A and B are shown apart, each in its own frame.
Chain A
Amino acid sequence: MADKEMVRFAIDGQEVEAEKGTMLLPVALEYGFEIPHLCYHEAVSPYGACRLCLVEVTKRGRTRLTTSCNYPVDEGIDVTTDSEDIQRARRMILELLLARAPHSERIKKLAYEAGIKETRFSLMDVGDCILCGLCERVCREVVGADAISFISRGDKRDVGPPFADPIACIACGACVYICPTDCIKMEERGDERTIVKWNRTLKMQECKSCGKPFAPLFQLNWIIDKVNLPKDFYDLCPVCRAGR
């Protein structure tokens, strides 16, 4: 295989270096530049849905606004992260996001920081989901359960399990954790765990030693199957297993 090709370019006047083809956003974040973003997570592939990570890129004398999470870096580009134009576009995007997710602490904070007190758009009743797609990507790319996906399109676009039936969901909670607006809730009652948004409730495995329920049975069996672990691998919770 060929050696990694490194490229050099500038962010807000500072010279930086990265492997050719890596996405701009993670490089900028690593160098300490602050670019707001909602639909990017290093664990999954970029998608460019929220439009918040806008920057200006000048390449061969031409400047344009582009999302940085899915922009592959190249030699000699010149990146600006906070111009007037960017701020104006960002404010508009934040107002739109605020209309979809008025209860999201993270979006409220971003809006506040951008100087927005309230949105001019009418609030939408979509349960705070901004259709960033992080949940469906983490479920497919990391968990591998493929339990949920985007559904329909246009103003009917939504995310959820096929036929509203969460049969493939193992209630692992990865989507709960990754959702930027906190709109996928998880509840644990007794020995049951529920992923509220997908309407999935599963029994949890009780630790054979301390008796505490610690993870959905279905999830554990699924992992055992997938990675070929011994059947009794999850008899003990992580705490008790570590103490042995």
Chain B
Amino acid sequence: MKKAQLEKILKRYDYQDSDLLAILQDVQTQENYLPRKTLEEVAERLAIPLARVYKLATFYRTFSLTPRGRHLINVCLGTACHVRGATMVLERLKRDLGVKAGGTTKDLRFTLDTVRCIGCCSLGPVVVINEEIFGKLNQEKAAKLLKEYN
């Protein structure tokens, strides 16, 4: 992240270290991950220990310390989706993308992750890509979905 961009974010929060969480969220949104160098700059500009920034950055699942893909795929592995074959869908996506759960494709197109029930069990198996929900999936349908994103 460019220095000026970070400065803009920090300014938005008046350089208050009590807003560290919100600051990290803004960095994550803009960069799709938290670059080490940016975290070091955050610590320096707010005059707080890097250990504190790192503690927070590693605590929340929304943060990632490595680059995430442009599109985030979440496969629901909640009980309802599970009994309807969610693991088959997950296995297929893993195979097609060549990544493990939690992994990111080399071209940074996709990050594949799993969740536990997103609350629309009757649609299971469910997959969420970015903010959009896709239900009643099977292996073929899931594989086809990927083509819609680049």
Contact = CB atoms under 8 A, between A and B. Distances in A.
Interface string A140-171: 10000011111111000000011100001000
B16 interface: no
A163 B49 contact: no
A162 B40 CA distance: 10
A162 B54 contact: yes
A148 B58 contact: no
Q: Which of under 10, 10 to 19, 20 to 34, or 35 or more describes the interface residues of B? A: 10 to 19
Interface in A129-143: 136, 140
Interface residues of A, number: 14
Nearest to A148: B51
B55 A151 contact: yes
B59 A162 contact: no
A152 B58 contact: yes
A105 B36 CA distance: 38
- Of B50, B51, B58, most buried by chain A (CB within 10 Å of CB) is B51
B52 interface: yes
A151 B58 contact: yes
B130 to A, nearest CB: 25
A101 B132 CA distance: 45
A143 B105 CA distance: 43
B53 interface: yes
Contact of B51 (A146, A152, A153): A146
B59 A168 contact: no
Contacts of B49: 140, 146-147, 149, 168
A147 B51 contact: yes
A129 to B, nearest CB: 16
Nearest to B61: A153
Contacts of A168: 49-51
A149 B36 contact: no
Query: Which 4 pairs of residues, A with B, have the shortest CB-CB distance?
Result: A146-B49, A162-B54, A149-B51, A149-B55
15 contacts: A136-B51, A140-B49, A140-B51, A148-B51, A149-B49, A149-B52, A149-B54, A150-B59, A152-B59, A153-B59, A161-B51, A162-B53, A162-B55, A168-B49, A168-B50
Interface of A: 136, 140, 146-153, 161-163, 168
Given A161-B51, A162-B39, 11 more contacts: A140-B49, A140-B51, A147-B51, A148-B51, A149-B49, A149-B55, A151-B55, A162-B50, A162-B53, A162-B55, A163-B36
